[in-house]
Amino acid sequence: MIYKHANVKNSKRYQRKVLGLKAEVSCVFVMDRIILHVDLDAFYASLEELRKPEIRGKPVVVCVYSGRTEESGAVATSNYLARELGIRAGMPIAYAKRAAKGHDVVFLPTDLDYYRETSERIMELLEEHADRFQQVSIDEAYLDVSETCRGDYGCAEKIAQEIKQEIKVQEGVTCSVGIGANKYVSKMAGKRKKPDGLTMVLPGTEADFLKDLPVGKLHGIGGKTEAELEDLGIKTASDLAGYSLNTLEEKFGKNKAKLLRDKSLGIDESPVEQKEKQQLSRIATLKQDTSDAGEAFVKVKELAEDLQKRLINAGTSFRTLTLITINNRLGMQTRSQSIEASTDINAQLPILENMLKKFLNDDPTPLRRIGVKVSNLSYRKQEKKQKTLADYGL
């Protein structure tokens, strides 16, 4: 056993035992990379269950409807009970409904504003735990904690446990976390135990962790490549790892052959790429639908206060201010205004209030949601406060 699930106790002692290390030479890991991959479990469906308690315990399917017919469109995601029925993302809705026949399955349309709003809060939470952070989708991100943990996988495990708990308490949803020495391995680890899983792959154990997986389960290997590998008698990662590289190069070319070999061995040098955000926004649901500008502006001020904290943390100024309104018919409107570069959104509240009044004068349809966005951002260089092992009780 040379990889482990993260609920094994005494991580530091386990690491030294597995890797044959002595305490006095543990500094060899100081510069080793430690990457976390965080994947929010059945995110859209989980959020729908959260706000509709009556559907919990049922198979839930969230769909993108095209509007042509009641069944035209595709499945965006499904919860794990629906997946047990064979209903998965990308499936035509008509096929999903056939698979659901005879079962009490709930079909819902997507509500992307709601999902994005929640995702933004979670991604902010995740970024606070990372030395470098890369969001790759609405429900998935990589966290590089190499500097904080300095080779200590027990530290990384502690961070992962804190993240899981914070997301569950703050947002009411679960996530699965993979920990490894690179992005590829951490992603594969995160898939090992879902939902609400936590799996860690220690350095040097990557090939053993992957060896029994069918090649089609290796991230990035599609159906066509899987079929071509199987034609060569390659069915598992270990088959691929042990196959002649020259033969692979003849079949796939030098670059792809190397990529395939690297995947089978868990090798990946790609960095966690921190990107500067191009905009910051917050959208929230009002306590009740309203066409009263005063009532709605109370929420605008709350959102502005939250955005102000984010502006300070990001070290950025903005030149464009936008107000977003969504009425109770789900119609969305935006109104923007360019301003002199500012780091203080609270100073712009009169502009937001004026925008809101104009919105409601032009269209008094009651508002259900309201949002504030700042864009045209300009970042100043600043040192991010470095967390240490002590911050995680290690």
Cα(24)–Cα(279) distance, integer angstroms? 47
In this structure, what token pair is assigned to residue 147? 């500097």
Query: Taking phi first (over 0 means left), then psi (-120 to 50 degrees means alpha), and beta for anything else, what does residue 30 get?
Result: alpha
In this structure, what token pair is assigned to residue 91? 């499936």
Residue 286 CA, distance from chain mean position? 26
Closest to 36 in 3D by CA, of 136, 105, 173? 136
Torsion of CA 178, 183, 187, 188, to 10 degrees: -100
Distances in Å between the Cα of 82 and the Cα atoms of 107, 295, 342 are 10, 40, 48
In this structure, what token pair is assigned to residue 347? 């100073």
Closest to 367 in 3D by CA, of 336, 324, 337? 324
Contacts of 359 (CB under 8 A, 6+ apart): 323, 325, 333, 335
Contacts of 18 (CB under 8 A, 6+ apart): 2, 202, 205
In this structure, what token pair is assigned to residue 301? 């001020």
Helix (H, G, I), strand (E, B) or coil at 387: coil
Amino acid letter for position 201? V
Looking only at the bridges linking them, the beta strands covering 367-375 and 279-290 are antiparallel
Q: How many CB atoms lie within 10 A of CB 165?
A: 10
Question: Is position 70 annotated as part of the catalytic site?
Answer: no
Residue with tokens 């792809």: 256
Bridge partners (DSSP) listed for residue 198 = 177
Considering the candidates 48, 49, 117, 140, report the single residue annotated as catalytic.
140
Cα(388)–Cα(220) distance, integer angstroms? 34
Q: Annotated active-site positions, please?
A: 140
